[in-house]
Amino acid sequence: MFEIEDPETTDKGTFYASLARQARALLEGESDPVANAANLAALIFHQLPNLNWAGIYFLRDQELVVGPFQGQPACVRIALGRGVCGSAAAARETIVVEDVDEFPGHIPCDSASRSELVVPLIDADDRLVGVLDLDSPSTGRFDREDAEGVELLARCYTDSLSG
Ligand code: SME
């Protein structure tokens, strides 16, 4: 296992590059989507500061269904286009929400969540397989650098699916 940089003293680019190396090492040699989602959610939740939820929603029959996560119990099904997760999935684009109260249609799962980052998971065949969702109890927790860093982690996951 690699040493992960200290997020308090390292710039975000270096921190996420180091976390992505750790994610690749963790997922390498395994292509089971549930197993790898579980390990990625645990890695993110325990390494990224100031989160209250981190997990994966899988696309199943044109709706999102909760997969492995760390945090409080969450809503199970989210329609495409609904909430932050469904909007990111429908647009196939990362969404950073500085303040969940300002996002129309935000679906509150944990009332502690104040900001959110959702990254779509798109596999090597350009198919949407789900989304990676991070919640924070702090307003404005995620910026562009976090979005890019978590996109890197999302790619570690989708790359692992093809073995
Ligand atoms: N807040 C999300 C729902 C999922 S939970 O945050 C775990 C949304 O609006 O899509």
Domain ranges of the chain: 12-161
Question: Which residue's CA lies nearest to atom 3 of ligand 1?
Answer: 107
Q: Residue 154 Cα, ligand 1 centroid: separation in angstroms?
A: 17
Report which of 7, 51, 3, 82 is spatially closest to residue 131, judged by C-alpha positions.
82
Q: Residue 33 Cα, ligand 1 centroid: separation in angstroms?
A: 21
Structure tokens at 161: 């699916």
Domain 12-161: assigned CATH number: 3.30.450.40
Q: Residue 29 Cα, ligand 1 centroid: separation in angstroms?
A: 31
Question: Which residue's CA lies nearest to atom 6 of ligand 1?
Answer: 109
Q: For ligand 1, say whether the CB of 106 is within 6 Å of any of its atoms.
A: yes
Angstrom CA distances, 2 to 5, 35, 86, 129, 150, stand at 9, 20, 34, 28, 18
CB 2 within 8 A of CB 136: no
Q: Residue 139 Cα, ligand 1 centroid: separation in angstroms?
A: 15
Q: For ligand 1, say whether the CB of 69 is within 6 Å of any of its atoms.
A: no
pLDDT along the chain (163 residues), means of 10: 72 96 96 98 98 98 98 97 98 98 94 97 97 98 98 98 88
For a pocket test of ligand 1, which of 52, 102, 103, 135 has the largest count of ligand atoms closer than 8 A to its C-beta?
135
pLDDT for the residue 2: 54
